[in-house]
Structure 1
């Protein structure tokens, strides 16, 4: 991965790249956290749902993301640092998702310019990403549907049965890569109650 190119792309969105997170930390891995939008309703803390044809989509998406992030615990007021899932593989290799540490700068535009970079989405107005609080206690997943955009907030994923069961399944699945399998097993062991 070209970290200088990643930093430049993130800067366009108003995110400062602070380096890759320690891959041995017992955090829920991006490959598992990315299923937050599939989490049953009892595991979801909050959802921001927007229609794609809304003329104020970018403004509403950015303000909705910020509200969920601040109120949901992605980052505290005054210290807007969090983790963002990024593909760490080389362009011609299979995806390897890892956490990058970032901080929110001013000005920022997650849903517009950020999504247009390809790091935070699939074009302006089409956000698609997974973010995690530094302590691992809040996930925000953005997903673009056929006619809508949704931001899902899940608090304390280690207490959500869906993530534990899905993680156990992924760890047993032969198609799960060794990096992801090890990260999932580490998280499941570290958060077992």
Structure 2
């Protein structure tokens, strides 16, 4: 939902046009700069990546749930190219479709394809955005969520401005 947030809610974007011959390296550089600037990485360059996991008894490959996976950015990385090509951070080379979070939930990052560009949107302090708070609140207590997930969500909802969590 990062791309649905407005600039006055804190959202920042960087995009590269689809016809740009070096769009993947430029989009990678933009992603990295925004991730560093807004605090996506932990001290060990770890962050959370939303990963699609099939539901038990899934009917087809669209019957999935996004779960947070702990990942670490290695020295040799290619989020917008190779990561997309293998389906981890997108649908094909140069077509990002990912959501990331700082370990403490203090910043969300989304990669997407627009009509004429690809890019990265960053949302610092997402706990301040009412639409995200509403969705989080609706998910508390769902039968597929664990007690720890509900506890983490409630702690996220309890944040005050400037709070970066536990």
Normalising by structure 1, what TM-score?
A: 0.70
Which residue of the other structure, out of 73, 80, 91, is the alignment partner of 1:111?
80
- After superposition, what is the alpha-carbon deviation per residue over 1:41-66, rounded to whole angstroms, capped at 9, x for unaligned? 21234211221111110111100010
Corresponding residue for residue 88 of structure 1: 53
Instruction: Give me the whole-angstrom Cα distance separating, in 1, the residues matched to 2:69 and 2:149.
Output: 17
Please, which runs of 5 or more residues in structure 2 have no aligned partner? 161-166
SS at match of 2:34: helix
SS at match of 1:100: strand
Instruction: Give me the whole-angstrom Cα distance separating, in 2, the residues matched to 1:118 and 1:91.
Output: 21
- Pairing of 1:1-193 with structure 2 (within 5 A): 35-76=1-42, 79-89=44-54, 93=58, 94-168=63-137, 170-171=138-139, 178-179=143-144, 186-190=151-155, 191-192=157-158
Q: Is the 8 A contact 2:48 2:70 kept in 1?
A: yes
CA RMSD in angstroms, aligned pairs only: 2.6
Count of aligned residue pairs for this structure pair: 154
Distance change (3 Å), C-alpha of 1:49 and 1:156: same
Instruction: Give me the whole-angstrom Cα distance separating, in 1, the residues matched to 2:145 and 2:122.
Output: 22
- After superposition, what is the alpha-carbon deviation per residue over 1:64-92, rounded to whole angstroms, capped at 9, x for unaligned? 0100111110014x521100000122697
Larger RCO, structure (CA 8 Å, separation 6 or more): 1
Alpha-carbon offset, residue 149 of structure 1: 1.2
Instruction: Give me the whole-angstrom Cα distance separating, in 2, the residues matched to 1:180 and 1:41.
Output: 31
In terms of fraction of residues, the more helix-rich structure is: 1
Please, which runs of 5 or more residues in structure 1 have no aligned partner? 1-34
- After superposition, what is the alpha-carbon deviation per residue over 1:93-148, rounded to whole angstroms, capped at 9, x for unaligned? 22111111010112111111000011110110101100010111011001112221
Normalising by structure 2, what TM-score?
A: 0.80
